[in-house]
Amino acid sequence: MLLRGERLGEISEDVLEFISSREADRWIYEADLLVDRAHLVMLKERGLITPEEFGEIVAGLDKIDEENLGEGEDVHEAIEAELISKVGAVGGRMHTGRSRNDEVATCIRIVLREEVLSLMAEVNGLAKALVERAAENADSIIPGFTHLQHAQPTTLAHHLLAHADTLLRDFERLSDSYPRINRSPLGAAAFASTGFDIDRNRTAELLGFDGLIENSMDAVSTRDFLLEALSCSAILMANLSRLAEELILWSTSEFGYVELDNLFTSTSSIMPQKKNPDTAELVRGKTGSVFGSLVSALAICKALPMSYNRDLQEATPNLWRGISLTRGAVTIMAGAVSSAKFRCDRLEAASGAGFSTATELADSLVRKTGIPFRTAHQIVGALAVKDERPTIRDLDEAAERIAKFRPSERGFGEDELKTALDPNENVALRSKIGGPAPKETRRMAADRKSRIEENERLVGEMRGRVDQALESLREMR
């Protein structure tokens, strides 16, 4: 144990285990070595260590192997101890003007920005899968639901594009959070900064950060960036669970609208005929776990006084859990969506069920006969009481009873009725912006496709900036 020395003496195994973050620190091991290196480069440039010392320490760092790390409360202590055992007392210069408090906050941000960039790419990939399936299905007529009751006919493209647009907002949320993640707390030291003549902007630049978390007290104590990433993940999962739920419902024999590829299903250990949508169910289930990660982290960070408190260590594993569950779910859904077989025949057959063309019948009556919409709503509502498809006689009778006129005598005859009751005609009429008509969904699909390409470019650019900085840093000897 490097740190306790005469001040505290030995520690017992159970206490060490209790206070240790070593398990979760697997996530930040690589980042910690980068932070060490950037700090050393800066110390050398500021004349706080000599070039020779720098060379010896960096050569020692290069030889460190995660497998061989010894004990310690955390990875920071273990790496420093290992370094000193390799290069001797000179290794003790590395921690000049630094604390584990700014170190750990920096490490978390370095790993999180990578995770967020990957998640952004994955979310964009899922949106792309949805848009591609939408483009194939501009003409596939399907039932649309409200309250999970047949409502009005729509198209599969319209439905899938709704999910795609939702995910594109999730992409934006993640992208918006990124500039608040990618800021450097390094150099804040324990919280009060340091009397050494360090250069915080230089370490920030070396590590590919876009700037500083300036106030050194704020820098070590805030985890709002992590709460924000978890919030984005939780909202994303809430959205994803809706898609998952529909895949589950739609693949029941009651709906029979979709069949998931075998790869995304499991069977039963007792019922040989079963093909269960387990991947979608687990997306739905893992949504709860991601919410749990967010709520745990919020509860841990709540009401902590300034500045660093060890409680913060307990928040971090929730971040890694939340973000990796989210990434896994997004990737699985992209595969499930791309390979799903939509049963367009069944979807179309169901599209007129439950008198789902009633709204259009009322609308057509308004357009042809000039009656107020509410009157038309009353007339068509009366027709809906019966189970059979209404005839023109039914319509005339109901209109006569309710509004004292006969539609067939005011230009609304057999042909008009037939058209109003045709799901395809219903959809074709709904060609206004954002509507389900094939013309409009084709336009939306093309627009989203170019947005998705733009997103791909954006992620590549953001990643490129970070990678370039880290590549140069790794080469510094």
Region for 114 from its dihedrals, namely left if φ exceeds 0, alpha if ψ lies in -120 to 50, beta otherwise: alpha
Q: How far is the CB of 309 from ligand ARG (least distance, A)?
A: 9
**One of 37, 39, 93, 100 touching ligand ARG (CB under 6 A):** 100
Does the footprint of ligand ARG cover residue 104 (CB under 6 A)? yes
Q: How far is the CB of 462 from ligand ARG (least distance, A)?
A: 26
Instruction: Write 146-149 long-range contacts (CB < 8 A, 24+).
Output: 149/354
- Based on the residue annotation, tell me whether 147 is a catalytic residue of this protein: yes
- Residue 406: closest CA among 432, 381, 441, 371: 371
Cis upstream peptide for 307 (omega within 30°):
yes
- Based on the residue annotation, tell me whether 268 is a catalytic residue of this protein: yes
For residues 183-211, one letter each, b for 16 or more C-beta atoms within 10 angstroms of the residue's C-beta and e for the rest, the string is: bbbbbbbbbebbeeebebebbbbbbbbbe
Q: Which of residues 21 and 326 has its CB atom nearest to ligand ARG in the complex?
A: 21
Which span sits near ligand ARG by CB under 6 A: 63-71, 309-317, 333-341, 359-367?
309-317
At 267, which amino acid appears?
Answer: T
Region for 141 from its dihedrals, namely left if φ exceeds 0, alpha if ψ lies in -120 to 50, beta otherwise: beta
**One of 312, 334, 399, 469 touching ligand ARG (CB under 6 A):** 312
d(CA 165, CA 239): 11
Q: Which of residues 187 and 436 has its CB atom nearest to ligand ARG in the complex?
A: 187
Contacts of residue 433, defined as CB under 8 A and 6 or more positions apart, other chains included, come to: 440
Main-chain dihedrals φ then ψ at residue 278, nearest 5 degrees = -60, -35
Question: Looking only at residues 149 through 168 of this chain, which bind ligand ARG when binding is defined by CB under 6 A?
Answer: none
Does the footprint of ligand ARG cover residue 98 (CB under 6 A)? no
Token pair, residue 137, equals: 């299905």
Please identify which of the residues 118, 231, 241, 268 carries the catalytic annotation: 268
Q: Which of residues 296 and 364 has its CB atom nearest to ligand ARG in the complex?
A: 296
Give the total of residues touching ligand ARG (CB under 6 A): 9
Q: How far is the CB of 22 from ligand ARG (least distance, A)?
A: 9
Does the footprint of ligand ARG cover residue 308 (CB under 6 A)? yes
Contact of 209 with 184, CB cutoff 8 Å: yes
Q: Which of residues 64 and 240 has its CB atom nearest to ligand ARG in the complex?
A: 64
Which span sits near ligand ARG by CB under 6 A: 308-316, 328-336, 362-370, 384-392?
308-316
At 373, which amino acid appears?
Answer: F
Q: Which of residues 21 and 279 has its CB atom nearest to ligand ARG in the complex?
A: 21
Please identify which of the residues 39, 85, 147, 338 carries the catalytic annotation: 147
d(CA 95, CA 196): 12
**One of 137, 155, 316, 318 touching ligand ARG (CB under 6 A):** 316
Quick note: the x/- pattern for ligand ARG over 2-21, rule CB under 6 A, is -------------------x
**One of 74, 80, 416, 440 touching ligand ARG (CB under 6 A):** 74
Does the footprint of ligand ARG cover residue 365 (CB under 6 A)? no
Token pair, residue 417, equals: 């009725």
Q: How far is the CB of 28 from ligand ARG (least distance, A)?
A: 8
Q: How far is CA 28 from the centre of its chain?
A: 21
Q: Which of residues 25 and 170 has its CB atom nearest to ligand ARG in the complex?
A: 25
Does the footprint of ligand ARG cover residue 101 (CB under 6 A)? yes
Q: How far is the CB of 113 from ligand ARG (least distance, A)?
A: 18
User: What would the DSSP string read from start to end of 307-367?
Assistant: S--THHHHHHHHHHHHHHHHHHHHHHHHHHHHH-EE-HHHHHHHTTGGGTTHHHHHHHHHH
CA angle 140, 141, 142 (to 5 degrees): 115
Token pair, residue 220, equals: 């070590």
- Residue 203: closest CA among 352, 59, 315, 42: 42
Q: How far is the CB of 267 from ligand ARG (least distance, A)?
A: 43
Contacts of residue 273, defined as CB under 8 A and 6 or more positions apart, other chains included, come to: none
Q: How many helices (H) and strands (E) does the chain have?
A: 20, 4
Does the footprint of ligand ARG cover residue 318 (CB under 6 A)? no
Q: How far is the CB of 15 from ligand ARG (least distance, A)?
A: 13
Does the footprint of ligand ARG cover residue 115 (CB under 6 A)? no
Q: Which of residues 140 and 221 has its CB atom nearest to ligand ARG in the complex?
A: 221
Q: How far is the CB of 58 from ligand ARG (least distance, A)?
A: 23
Q: Which of residues 155 and 316 has its CB atom nearest to ligand ARG in the complex?
A: 316
d(CA 85, CA 392): 93
Q: Which of residues 74 and 82 has its CB atom nearest to ligand ARG in the complex?
A: 74
**One of 313, 326, 351, 364 touching ligand ARG (CB under 6 A):** 313
Which span sits near ligand ARG by CB under 6 A: 97-105, 293-301, 343-351, 382-390?
97-105
Annotated catalytic residues are: 147, 268
Binding interface with ligand ARG (CB under 6 A): 21, 74, 100-101, 104, 308, 312-313, 316
